[in-house]
Structure 1
Amino acid sequence: MLNVEFIHPKFLLTWILILFMRIGVFIPFKAQVVAGKAIGRMMYPFMNKLRSTAYSNISHCFPEKKQPQVERLVKRHFEAIGVSFFETANAYYGTDNKIKKLLNIKNEHFFKDALKEEGGIILLCSHFMPLMLGSRALLIKHTIANIYRPQNNTLFDSAMVKGYKKNGAVMIKSTDTRSIIKAINNSLPIWYAPDQDLGKNNSVFAPFFGIQTATASATARLAKNNNTRVIPYSFIRTSNGYLMSFEKPISNYPSNDPIHDATVINQILEKQINHSPEQYLWIHRRFKTRPNDEKNFYKFN
């Protein structure tokens, strides 16, 4: 049933976006990529703040790259942002059959073996542009809990939650720690992406691409519950579809050293990002929180 709250002029553009998303799922994959890259190239000249953030992040994380190389990677990143419009549409409204045809799955046995044993499972992932579709693809064969941050746009947030729930996901807000721990204690796998700047109160500083970075400490705390295994999971777009890959559970994790644990997580995420750097979420101000009140890297604050 339609929520009357969403019948308001302020949601007109969101309704138009949702309409285009519903239409976009019927476009073949390769055409989606072509159209998405074109959208990204059109966005690039007008998104000064996001473009500046991406440039700063990439230049600091890859100091060996010269300015023209950084600019090329930023442009490729904006193309990936454009493609993510269709990837998000596929996540909310695509059929299982369409998504399955696009999947190449690697090392799924690490996840399946963990499911056979009692205990919690954290599927550890990075914020890549196909992130939403990567979560949706898991639901084709598995029941998981999505740990998510509510969208500022309440209509779009409602569309996201509804799209996942109808495909079997359990949706848990990232602030609802009690429900997250309950899911872990009930051996319900959770899909978790901790690579966001949450500020000093919720983080420890650990190296990420050689930069001391505010890193969420919650991953290690959650992993202390119910014999939890942390399994790195990545979902990357390829020329023919998507590579869904799992790695073996992290050994000896967590330890009693929060900085060591955060460093281990960051090293895993670095490895994932280096595989397809243009698809990572470089427009997030990952390094805004600095140790010892150092000045952040960004032109726009």
Structure 2
Amino acid sequence: MSHWALHFILKSVASLPLGLAQILGGFGGIVAFTFFPHFRSLFQENYHHAMQLHGKKTHSLKAAAASGMLFIDSLWIWHNPQKALERADVQDWSPVDQAVQEGKGLVMLTPHLGGFEIIPRILATHFPATILYRPARQEWLNNLIEEQRAYPNMHFVPTNLQGVRKMVKALQEGEAIGILPDQVPSGGDGVWVKFFNRYAYTTPLPARLANRNQTPVILFSAIRKSLGQGWTIKAHRLASFSDDAHHAATQMNQAIEAVILEAPEQFIWSYNRYKHPEGAELPPQE
């Protein structure tokens, strides 16, 4: 299939009503789980380990469908930002208001859970937000993502030194920055700490940026409601991070785990969270 054809299909799906798009996404997740052994193996290993660790039952097909819905939710939110905002049920915005009033900016953490792409758009309706992202390896896909993600008051910066400098500047100006805290950083940029009791290479960047000026850190979640109904948005203010990079990364991972366990099937279990990035030191022995 050509890039243009895939581009057309993705945009066509994003143009559907949300409920129908989510049904298609769920079907795609089940197809991937059924017919792609690598997807199924990685998904099962991550999902079953985390659920068994916390004594929860596993619902593999339900979780696989939710993974497909997560991808479709992102596409739909990019393509229909105003409709998506209307379907965002914000439970309590006061932690964000209180943090912003402190005048030190805001560090926004959004794990790959449910409709996480709606969160920066909610923030952007209140104040500017600078979002750190890793460009896709395929140029056509990166162009599609950048085109669809574009939104007023949102500024995307790449995961490099220049991007980090722009985030520091945004915080100095009292603005918000956004980081995907469950994404594996490049070799040399992370630390090995536990995530669901397995060593995962984890970014210490949120703690470093927050500790520069005691900037408030908010962990957001966007849990999918029933088909076509949107997402429930929650904001959890985190306690101050330790100055020790390993301890701070552990604090962050524990907070992310707690949010995931509110709707575990909606997390992106097919992502290789425990991989060893090139250039990183070996993880500690289990």
1:60 matched residue in structure 2: 49
Distance 1:90 1:58 in 2: 25
Contact 1:185 1:225 in 2 (8 A): no
Change (3 A) 1:143 1:90: farther
Partner of 1:89: 75
Match 2:254 to one of 254, 267, 290: 267
Q: Is the 8 A contact 2:67 2:267 kept in 1?
A: no
Equivalent position amino acid for 1:243 in 2: T
RMSD: 2.5
Unaligned runs of 5+ in 2: 277-281
CA distance in 2, matches of 1:84, 1:292: 32
Aligned length: 277
> Could you say if the C-alpha distance between residues 184 and 60 of structure 1 is closer, same or farther in structure 2, counting changes exceeding 3 Å?
same
- Relative to structure 1, the CA distance from residue 156 to residue 167 in structure 2 (aligned partners, 3 Å threshold; closer, same or farther) is farther
User: What amino acid sits opposite 2:196 in the alignment?
Assistant: F
Question: Which residue does the alignment assign to 2:2?
Answer: 13
TM-score (ref. length: structure 1): 0.82
Alignment of 1:174-193 (within 5 A): 174-175=159-160, 176-193=163-180
Q: Structure 1 vs Structure 2: percent identity of aligned residues?
A: 24
**Structure 1 residues 108 and 17, CA, compared in 2 at 3 Å: closer, same or farther?**
farther
Equivalents in 2 of 1:180, 1:65: separation in Å? 36
**Cα deviation, residue 53, structure 1:** 0.8
Gaps of at least 5 residues in structure 1 are 1-11, 295-301
- Distance in 2 (CA, whole Å) between partners of 1:223 and 1:56 is 33
1:212 maps to 2:199: yes
8 Å CA contact retained: 1:21, 1:85: no
1:111 and 2:96 equivalent?
yes
Task: Quote the residue 2:62 is aligned against.
Answer: 76
Secondary structure of 2:144's partner? helix
TM-score, length-normalised on structure 2?
A: 0.86
Q: Is the 8 A contact 1:217 1:258 kept in 2?
A: yes
- State the Cα distance separating 1:217 from its structure 2 match: 1.4
CA distance in 1 between counterparts of 2:36 and 2:113 reads 19
- Give deviations 1:171-207, integer Å, cap 9, x for gaps: 1112222222122222220111121233662222323
1:124 aligns with 2:109: yes
Amino acid at match of 2:263: S
User: Of the candidates 27, 43, 48, which is equivalent to residue 37 of structure 2?
Assistant: 48
Equivalent position of 1:233 in the other structure: 220
Distance 1:120 1:55 in 2: 39
Mapped partners of 2:69, 2:62: distance in 1: 11
When residues 14 and 168 of structure 1 are mapped into structure 2, their CA distance, relative to the original with a 3 A threshold, is farther
Q: What residue is the counterpart of 2:279 in the other structure?
A: none
Corresponding residue SS for 1:131:
coil
- Is 1:169 matched with 2:154? yes
2:218 partner letter: I
CA contact (8 A) 1:57 1:282 kept: yes
Quick one: distance in 1 between partners of 2:109 and 2:81? Answer: 25
Query: Is the partner of 1:81 in helix, strand or coil?
Result: helix
Change (3 A) 1:53 1:28: same
Q: 1:84 to 1:213 in 2, by over 3 A?
A: closer
Please tell me whether Structure 1 or Structure 2 has the larger radius of gyration of its CA atoms.
Answer: 1
**SS in structure 1 of the partner of residue 212 of structure 2:** coil
Paired residue secondary structure (1:224) = helix
CA distance in 1, matches of 2:222, 2:52: 26
Report the 3-state secondary structure (helix = DSSP H, G, I; strand = E; otherwise coil) of the residue aligned with 1:151.
coil
